[in-house]
Amino acid sequence: MAFIPHTEADVAQMLAAIGVKRIEDLFDEIPAQLRVKSLAGVPEELNEMEIGRLMSERARSDGVALSFLGAGAYEHHIPAAVWAITTRGEFYSSYTPYQAEASQGTLQLIYEFQTMIARLTGMEVSNASMYDGASAMAEAALMAVRANRKSKSARILVPTTVHPHYRRVAVVAASNQGLKFEELPYGAAEGSTPAAALAKYEGEDVTALVIQQPNFFGRLEDVDALTDWAHARGSLVIAVVNPTSLAVLKPPGEWGARGADIAVGEGQPLGVPLSSGGPYFGFMTTRMQHVRQMPGRLVGRTLDAAGHEGFTLTLQAREQHIRRARATSNICTNQGLLVTAATIYLSLMGPQGMARTAASAHARARELVAALMRVPGVRLAFAGAYFHEAVLQLDRPVAPVLKALAARGILGGLDLSAYYPELGAALLVCATETKSAADIERYRATLQDAMQAVRAA
Amino acid sequence: MRVREKVIYEYSHPGRGASDQWPHDPGQAALSDLPATLRRTRAPELPEVGELETVRHFTRLSQLNFSIDTHFYPLGSCTMKYNPRACNQYAMLPELLARHPLAPESHGQGFLACMYELQEMLKAVSGMEGVALSPMAGAHGEFAGVAMIRAYHRARGDLARNEIIVPEAAHGTNPATATMCGCVVREIPVDAQGDVVLQALKAAVGPNTAGIMLTNPSTLGVFERHIVEVARIVHEAGGLLYYDGANLNAILGKVRPGDMGFDVIHMNLHKTFSTPHGGGGPGAGAVGVGARLLPFMPIPIVGKDGERYRWLAESDLPQSIGRLSAFMGNAGVLLRAYIYMRLLGREGMRRVGEYATLNANYLLKRLQAAGFDAAYPQRRASHEFIVTLRRQARELNVTAMDFAKRLLDYGFHAPTTYFPLLVPECLLIEPTETESKDVLDAFVTAMSQIQKEAEQEPGRVTSAPHTMPVRRLDDVRAARQLDLTWKPTAQP
């Protein structure tokens, strides 16, 4: 029996100890009419060799394309040690460290993670993770409403340069609690949020302003000016940041005169494989003054009965298992194993490795854009600096071009027409340190062919 | 021997690093186009350590953990069963790991086939009409479920329904979820046998009832015998029934939530379908719905047109509650659950519920025979049961927490302690189907030993654990003198 070690003799002895004849008798409190009649929808079992073959065939059929997709999930080199250690049974098959004395490994690791993420974002305190970047932004909005006691409006300003999926998730997650999300338009020429977009909120009660850096288009926002505008008017600032970029870009803790109040983001670039969208992890950091409004687990260092240092879950009175209906969030299980991977990744990369990764991704993206601009009919949509992705505009429809590229094993980027129809035939492309000069040249040459094959609009 | 493993920052030396892992230095010119005002001026304080040091540090940390792979882990309500290694290996094939979430469907038919078949298998074992896979944990599935209940009532113009009923023994996530969905919580009592008090339920339902959230078997480790009646009362009042799937392992292959009358459920794939708990996640909280809630399911969902699989988006489901994650939830966890379900197959599903229940009832009987008090002695155990140490606490001054800590010294992870809050000095014990009789017998022996110690040298138990990397930790100090990040000079 798969994963059940019982022999017939075991079962007989166990039933005798219980005082029943058959296992079936143990279900005698369940009304008979409720018993399952058929599980026809579940196929017969496979053994490990058979499932291995099936999965390998399916994986092979999906293949590995040369990908220039980004848009919130990024291909980076992952050191072999990261997942070799992360999948050790002691990390892989343990649970939330409720019994601190038997979970010091996980607890200390989370404490180290909290430290690294706080340093990377330039903030004072980090939690132990949220589900992903999008849900972390939604939780940050809810947290801002609790933390900004002077504001009564529960009104959150969100630039349209924030990832469209994140904006959608925020509305789904928070609108039942009365939060109102209002979108700020971007400047058509520069693809970032101009100060003028805020003018109409002058003198109004705004709970928080969200700023994504780099924004969804890869462009850099004027984070200092936006942050100072919000703080001058009693609004909090929620930063949504890419952790790789923080090795070279100003961390949220240093934005404007006072720094952002909450920083969140997608942790996937830190050693987590793309894996069709998950599991990833969201991170969340804030200032000490707001720590009690923070959702999720927190680990603290303390002393044991013998006076030695040790680690334990702390400030649990914020959480659902203690405070129930008045908890800061319903989150319980989060993304522990991905935090394990990220902590090992950040240790191996260190400040130098992170800086090189960020600079290298940026350099590759610039090379990519320069190469693709040489293809007739391709132009850069926005003027100004970008990090490791950029929006291109084509003089013909994007979808058939992408299809032609895909047929030749290249995923050319994300078609933006469904998200930003006003941009016309727009394509979001990304390159990181994983792309070589030859990869970029292959994309350029293939794009040139594909463009010729698709008739101009 | 207690050896302190340093915080990784204490290994750090300026200039050291795992340089083989870094890309080549593109030089300062690479960043010349970035405006100086947007640049970072000081490098982030990350540890500077070599690769071997890093490997050794995290390997050592791992060795400070109890886990399923190393210890019996009967943590009630968490279903700590064996996580087959095959599920990990075949979910981590290079092509599956490399696939970008926004890659076209043409480059993901293999992956999408797995997701589609997982949806179908989960429908079959839950008795629901539709399944959506994107919620990323049980609590996230709860959120999706209650949001669908709200959307259903709203779509009917039934706007007053904002009350969610929960039994007093419910998981904390249930009331917390109701609040997140903008609902008001009404708690109802359970009787001395662990069943919902029907009179209280009848009094609680009305024109404001959005629905009820139930775990069945309940958090008390017993099957709700009035479930058919509960469903009738709630439905007649115009409410819907939410099934918290935390305890689905108890009845897998034996009874289906859909047949009990539930309208919406979440399934903790990291419990029932054996995906790893990972030291606190990732989980996966797939939701299943009955016919009434089909239009409201969260996207994305995998659909099938002929032989091609494709994503269903909001354009396919215009009444959907929408998107819950940036992409497809915890896809890699879903792959592990898929592989597990295929390894078990149809008969294997049945065996899960059967042997989980056999193990729990056997362990309960053995512990009772050894002198321990069951919280519900007249009831069958489900896949878990509650032992109350009220007597030991009163007579010997040895509490459930003391027993839990001493169990660690005997090489067993502690059961869930002090939950549910309804039962004083409780241990909620869930052995799961993957444990052998030998392990259960050894656990009984350990409990009996601890009982003897509690009677003869209680100090040994109340000061436990003695063999762990640390002694009992000062939680009050942790909360009062917050030390949440490492600092170069600070000592705890």
**Within a domain: A136:** yes
Chain-chain contact of A165 with B326 (C-beta, under 8 angstroms): yes
**CATH number of the domain enclosing A434:** 3.90.1150.10
Q: What average pLDDT does range A181-201 have in this prediction?
A: 96
Select the residue of B38, B95, B125 nearest A220 (Cβ to Cβ).
B38
Complex-level ipTM: 0.97
**Within a domain: A318:** yes
Q: Is A369 on the interface with B (CB under 8 A)?
A: no
Q: Are residues A221 and A325 in the same domain?
A: yes
Q: Which residues of chain B have pLDDT under 70?
A: 1-3, 490-492
Residues of B in contact with A349 (CB under 8 A): 17-18, 21-22, 46
- From the candidates A276, A332, A334, A388, which should be mutated to test the interface with B, based on the most B CB atoms within 10 A? A276
A16: closest CA of chain B, how far (Å): 9
Chain-chain contact of A52 with B477 (C-beta, under 8 angstroms): no
Chain-chain contact of B21 with A414 (C-beta, under 8 angstroms): no
Chain-chain contact of B434 with A165 (C-beta, under 8 angstroms): no
Longest CA pairwise span in chain B (Å): 77
User: What pLDDT, in 10s, does the model give residues B108-155?
Assistant: 999 999 999 999 999 999 999 999 999 999 999 999 999 999 999 999
**Within a domain: A37:** no
Per-residue pLDDT, A241: 98
Q: Which amino acid, one-letter code, is at B237? A: A
Select the residue of B138, B253, B325 nearest A36 (Cβ to Cβ).
B253
| Cα gap A319→A323, rounded to integer Å | 6
Chain-chain contact of B408 with A46 (C-beta, under 8 angstroms): no
Tell me the C-alpha to C-alpha distance, in Å, between residue A212 and each of A153, B48, B488.
22, 29, 31
Average pLDDT, chain A: 97
Q: Nearest-5° angle of CA B244, CA B246, CA B250?
A: 110
- Kindly state the tokens that stand for B102: 């926004």
User: Is the separation of the CB atoms in A411 and A394 below 8 Å?
Assistant: no
Q: Is A430 on the interface with B (CB under 8 A)?
A: no
Q: Is A13 on the interface with B (CB under 8 A)?
A: yes
Last residue of a domain, one of A314, A344, A374: A344
Residues of B in contact with A291 (CB under 8 A): 482, 484
Q: Are residues A263 and A320 in the same domain?
A: yes
Q: Above 70 in pLDDT, residue A444? A: yes
The ranges assigned to domains in chain B are 87-344, 352-476
* DSSP-assigned beta bridge partners for residue A184: A159
User: What pLDDT, in 10s, does the model give residues A293-305?
Assistant: 999 999 999 999 9
Name residues whose C-beta falls within 8 Å of residue A443's C-beta, 6 or more positions apart in sequence: A66, A68, A368, A371, A372, A405, A410, A412
User: What pLDDT, in 10s, does the model give residues A80-120?
Assistant: 999 999 999 999 999 999 999 999 999 999 999 999 999 99
Chain-chain contact of A45 with B346 (C-beta, under 8 angstroms): yes
Among 3.40.640.10, 3.40.50.1820, 3.30.70.260, 3.90.870.10, name the CATH number for the domain at B87-344: 3.40.640.10
- Give the residue among B29, B128, B115, B23 at the shortest CA–CA distance from B338: B115
**Within a domain: A39:** no
Overall pTM > 0.90: yes
Q: Are residues A233 and A281 in the same domain?
A: yes
Put simply, the chain A residues between 180 and 209 with a CB less than 8 A from any chain B CB are none
| Cα gap A290→A313, rounded to integer Å | 18
Q: Are residues A160 and A225 in the same domain?
A: yes
What dihedral angle (degrees, nearest 10) is formed by the CA atoms of B345, B346, B351, B357?
120
Q: Which amino acid, one-letter code, is at B266? A: H
- Kindly state the tokens that stand for B466: 């003695």
Q: Are residues A317 and A356 in the same domain?
A: no
Q: How many CB pairs under 8 A join A and B?
A: 699
Put simply, the chain A residues between 110 and 139 with a CB less than 8 A from any chain B CB are 111-112, 114-116, 118-120, 122, 124-126, 128-129, 131-135
Q: Is B200 on the interface with A (CB under 8 A)?
A: no
User: What pLDDT, in 10s, does the model give residues A2-29?
Assistant: 999 999 999 999 999 999 999 999 999 9
Q: Above 90 in pLDDT, residue A50? A: yes
Per-residue pLDDT, A382: 98
User: Is the separation of the CB atoms in B76 and B428 below 8 Å?
Assistant: yes
Q: Are residues A298 and A383 in the same domain?
A: no
Q: Are residues A215 and A357 in the same domain?
A: no
User: What pLDDT, in 10s, does the model give residues A158-176?
Assistant: 999 999 999 999 999 998 8
Count of domains forming chain A: 2
**Within a domain: A26:** no
- From the candidates A10, A14, A42, A165, which should be mutated to test the interface with B, based on the most B CB atoms within 10 A? A42
**Within a domain: A229:** yes
User: What pLDDT, in 10s, does the model give residues B337-372?
Assistant: 999 999 999 999 999 999 999 999 999 999 999 999
Q: Above 90 in pLDDT, residue A319? A: no
Chain-chain contact of B343 with A95 (C-beta, under 8 angstroms): no
Q: What ranges make up the beta strands (E) of B318-396?
A: 373-374, 385-388
Select the residue of A4, A54, A273 nearest B434 (Cβ to Cβ).
A4
Chain-chain contact of A314 with B485 (C-beta, under 8 angstroms): no
- From the candidates B66, B227, B269, which should be mutated to test the interface with A, based on the most A CB atoms within 10 A? B66
Give the chain A residue nearest B175 (alpha carbons): A325
Give the chain B residue nearest A118 (alpha carbons): B485
Q: What ranges make up the beta strands (E) of A31-150?
A: 66-67, 125-126
- Give the residue among B377, B376, B371 at the shortest CA–CA distance from B391: B371
Q: Are residues A279 and A378 in the same domain?
A: no
| Cα gap A115→B486, rounded to integer Å | 6
Please tell me the class of the B352-476 domain: alpha beta
* Domain of A383, in residue numbers: 66-75+351-453
Residue where the block lists tokens 């609902």: B183
**Within a domain: A14:** no
User: Is the separation of the CB atoms in B87 and A48 below 8 Å?
Assistant: no
**Within a domain: A283:** yes
Put simply, the chain B residues between 441 and 460 with a CB less than 8 A from any chain A CB are none
User: Is the separation of the CB atoms in B349 and B342 below 8 Å?
Assistant: no
Last residue of a domain, one of A317, A344, A371: A344
A374: closest CA of chain B, how far (Å): 20
- Give the residue among B435, B391, B443, B387 at the shortest CA–CA distance from B412: B443
User: Is the separation of the CB atoms in B253 and A307 below 8 Å?
Assistant: no
Residues of B in contact with A120 (CB under 8 A): 44, 46
Per-residue pLDDT, B1: 47
Q: Are residues A298 and A218 in the same domain?
A: yes
User: Is the separation of the CB atoms in B357 and B338 below 8 Å?
Assistant: no
- Give the residue among B315, B269, B323 at the shortest CA–CA distance from B297: B323
- Which helix (H) or strand (E) is A337 found in, with range? helix A336-373
Residue where the block lists tokens 């004072």: A124
Chain-chain contact of B278 with A97 (C-beta, under 8 angstroms): no
User: Is the separation of the CB atoms in B169 and B197 below 8 Å?
Assistant: no
- Which helix (H) or strand (E) is A156 found in, with range? strand A155-159
User: Is the separation of the CB atoms in B95 and A62 below 8 Å?
Assistant: yes
Q: Are residues A293 and A409 in the same domain?
A: no
Residues of A in contact with B475 (CB under 8 A): 302, 312, 314
- Give the residue among A266, A300, A321 at the shortest CA–CA distance from A135: A266
Q: Is B470 on the interface with A (CB under 8 A)?
A: yes
Q: Which amino acid, one-letter code, is at B296? A: F
Last residue of a domain, one of A285, A314, A344: A344
Select the residue of A169, A306, A312 nearest B475 (Cβ to Cβ).
A312
- Give the residue among B96, B79, B142 at the shortest CA–CA distance from B339: B96
Please tell me the number of Cα atoms within 13 Å of B405 on its side-chain side.
24
Q: Is B14 on the interface with A (CB under 8 A)?
A: no
Q: Are residues A207 and A291 in the same domain?
A: yes
Q: Is B18 on the interface with A (CB under 8 A)?
A: yes
Q: What percent of chain A has pLDDT over 90?
A: 94
Strands A414-415 and A125-126 turn out to be unpaired
Q: Are residues A302 and A180 in the same domain?
A: yes
* DSSP-assigned beta bridge partners for residue B428: B386, B416
Report DSSP letters for B133-178, one per residue.
----SHHHHHHHHHHHHHHHHHHTT-TT--EEEEETT--THHHHHH
Q: Is A8 on the interface with B (CB under 8 A)?
A: no
Q: What average pLDDT does range A225-248 have in this prediction?
A: 98
Axis crossing angle, helix A133-147 with helix A164-174, rounded to the nearest 10? 50
* Buried b / exposed e along A268-279 (16+ C-beta atoms within 10 A): bbbbbbbbbbbb
